[in-house]
Structures are given as structure tokens and as C-alpha cells.
Amino acid sequence: MAVGSEAREEIRPPGRSEARATAVLLLAGAGLVALSLILPHPPGGDLTALCATAAGMTVVGGAVWFLSARVPVALVHLLLAATALVTGLLFVESGLAVGQYGTIFTWGTLISAYFFSRRAAAAHLAWLLLVYAGSLELVESTGGYSPVTRWIFSAVSLTVVMLFVNSLASRRARADTRARHFFDLSQDMLCTMDMMGRCIEVNGAWERALGYRPVEMRGRRLLELTHPDDHAHATEQALKVFGGGDVEDLETRVRAKDGNWHWLRTSSVFEPDEELVYARSTDITSQKELEAEREALIAENEKLARSDALTGLPNRRALDDQLPREMARALRAGTELCLAIIDIDHFKTYNDTFGHLAGDTVLRDCAAAWDGALRGEDTILRFGGEEFLVVLPDCPPGDAVEIVERLRAATPEGQTCSAGLAVWTPGETVDDLVARADKALYAAKESGRDRLVSAAA
């Protein structure tokens, strides 16, 4: 049974519950004496001594209550023994071998049986029965029962109380020990918090995940460890929990002891009867890193899918996404949208003469030069082969001509280019607009190249 006592000592909350229980015993005993003197009672007894004893019990009980956090367990044993002795004194002062003061014996037995091992509880009971035997010798026996009979009845009843309560307390202690064992072994980060959001208890998973030992977390607010960007949301969810709601799968970043940030997924529940919050957290940092890597990979793949590998410019697939948006924007804003197709002159001949590597260099240089000569809102795409397509939003035809001519003048490597320009007509499809610009480009080539031709509306 000593194991049960050690388990209860380990798991009981701070505040010296044993001391407070003993304080209540003393105060209740004093109240019982006062009540016995107020209500009708047998004549006799030393009234002054009874009042003085009750006053002393009140003073000691109050002091023990307020100093309970500082009262060691050894002193609690002495106080319980002293309470039993004082109860015997009450018997002597009242002049009665039986009476209401025997209830204090029962209360004392309950406290020792609940908080201490069976051996310690039995020692307290033995002392109590010894005190009672002495009291019976000093007072008159009434009611037809001999002192021995009264003592045996009390001894049997109090022993049954002690064994029963101690057995229940020991079973609960063993259950708490098993719960503690699983609490500490859990891979989840378990935490109990008070109404102020301060940690009362955390399990070993916190140290394994974040490096904080349980003693370092005790009394600390979890919100203090939360990332500044997550603090407002975490506070909002905490208020929801303390308002009686539950929170599931709250994802926040928490600072580990080494200064790194870890992602935690937390579920919390509020127990109003205990005024405690129970929280379970899982470290999902690795999962978040994998998600970030996957999102970056997806973004990179999407970028590559819409980019030309040689020039780095958007490709024709990107055009299918962008041009409809520009058309919708132009229609909504009432602005003009122009589209130009530029073709490097005699590129096939250049490629055949100097080789594909040289041809690739020309394509890259042209792409860079033309892209640098555009306005910020304009877009140039590689349309295919040596053809490039230029999208010119919010651009009147006259301005579009100037921009395309500027591009032609910026053509590097001594090359020339031809261009076809078309102005979008509301209601016209992407394919129709591109076809008109392409037709204008064909006209520029047919008329001698190295020029710009605008398509008819």
C-alpha cells in the first residue's frame, strides 16, 4: 500500500491537499463544538474549557489553511494526531463518554485513510483508539454500555471505514499511475492548462519534440511560444475554448527551446467542472515541409509548363491563359488591346549556315532585347520557332506601332524582323485575333520583310 501512497503523493496537485483537509477537520470540529453548545445538550461539562478548545481549533485550522502550501506532510501527521488528542479532551471537558464529538474521530479516520498508506492510516487509527480509551476511563459511562463495549464498537466501525476508504483511494492511485504511465509514453504532446492558459502539466513528448522539460513548461503560457504571425488566430481560438467550445486541428508555429519554429496541430477541450483545458498537439513540421516542397515543385512545374525552355519567356500555353483575361479587362475598362507577331527574317537560312547553337543564341538575344524594350504591362511570348507574340494591353493602335517599331530597332546580332499588328475587336475570339495578326505578318514578309504591317479591322 505504500506504493499507492507514493503514487498519490506524485500525482496530487500543488497546494498540499492533506494540509487543507486537516485544516477543514479542525475548523469543522470547532464548529461542531459551537453547535453542540448552542443546541440543547445534557447538563454538566466545562463550558469555558469547551469554548477555549473550540477557539484554539479555529485559530490553528485557519493558520494551517492559509499556510497549506508550506506545510510539510510530516507536520500534517502531527496535526492529525493532535486533533485526535483534542477530541479526546473534548470528551473529558463535556463529561460524556458518547456524543457528537465522536464524529471528529470519523472525519480524522477518513482523511488519514484517503491521503496516506494503509500502514500510516492504521497508525493514526491506533493512536485515535488509544486516545478514546483514555477518555473512556476519565468520564462517566452512560446508557448501559461499559467503556470496553463502547471502545470495541468504535474500533470496529472506524477500522471498517479506514480499510474501505483506503482501498478505494489506493485503487484510484493505481489507476492514476497507469494513466500517468500512458500520459508520459504518448507520442502526442499532451498538456493541461488552467483558466489563465498556463500549463499545469505536460508529458515527455514536449521534451522530445521541442526540448522543453515538463518543469520548464509548468506555469508557462503556450501563447508566449506562438509565432507572431499566428498569435492573433491562436488567441481567438483559445478564447473560444475557454468560452466552452472545442477546437480541432488548430495549426500554429511554436518556438522550440533551440529557437527553431515547429508546426503543431492542436485539438483542445474545456472541462467546466474542473476549470481545466486539455490539449493534444502533434508535431507536423516534417509534414509542412513536405507540403511546402510539393507546392514549390508544383509551382515550378506550372512555371515550366508555361515557359519556353530556350528563352525563358512565357510560351503559347501561357497565351491561352493570359489573352482571354486581357480581353475581358479591355472590355470591362473600355480600353484597346493590340497584338503583334514578330518573325526573325531569314532565320532558317541563318540556322543552316551557322548551326543550331548559333541560331539558339540569336533567339535568346532577341527575346532578351525585345523583352527589355517593352512597357511594364506588356508581355512577349515565344509563339513557336522564330516567331514571338507581343500582347499590348491598354494600348491605342498608334502607340502599338511605336512600340513594335522600337522592338524591331532593338533586334540584335545584325538581324532584321518582320511584324504583323492587329487591334482586338470586342467579341472577337483569341484564334481570330491571332489569325489576323498572323495574316498581317504574312503580308509584311510578302512585301519584302523588315517591316511592320497592320491588319485591317
Active site residues: 386
Cell 532577341 locates to: 366
Strand order in the sheet with 189-193: 199-202, 189-193, 276-283, 261-271, 247-255
d(CA 17, CA 164): 20
**Cell numbers placing 373:** 524594350
Cβ pair 370, 381 in contact under 8 A: no
Per DSSP bridges, beta strands 379-384 and 261-271 are unpaired
If 0-12 CB within 10 Å is exposed, 13-18 middle and 19+ buried, where does residue 394 land? middle
Alpha helices (runs of H) in 98-146, residue ranges in sequence order: 102-115, 118-138
**Amino acid making up residue 87:** T
* Burial of 240: CB neighbours in 10 Å, binned 0-12, 13-18, 19+: middle
For 415, the 3-state DSSP assignment is coil
Do strands 247-255 and 452-454 pair parallel, antiparallel, or not at all (unpaired)? unpaired
Q: Which three cell numbers stand for residue 187?
A: 507520442
CA dihedral 326→329→335→341, nearest 10 degrees, is 0
Task: Say if CB 76 and CB 23 are below 8 A apart.
Answer: no
User: SS3 helix, strand, coil % of the chain, rounded to 5?
Assistant: 60, 15, 25
**Is 80 in contact with 124 (CB distance < 8 Å)?**
yes
User: Under a CB-based contact definition with an 8 Å cutoff, are residues 129 and 106 in contact?
Assistant: no
Region class of 16: left (phi > 0), else alpha (psi between -120 and 50), else beta:
left
Q: What are phi and psi for residue 282, nearest 5 degrees?
A: -125, 135
Contacts of 319-323 with CB under 8 Å at 24 or more apart are 319/381, 319/383, 319/389, 319/391, 319/430, 320/430, 322/379, 322/391, 323/391, 323/430, 323/433
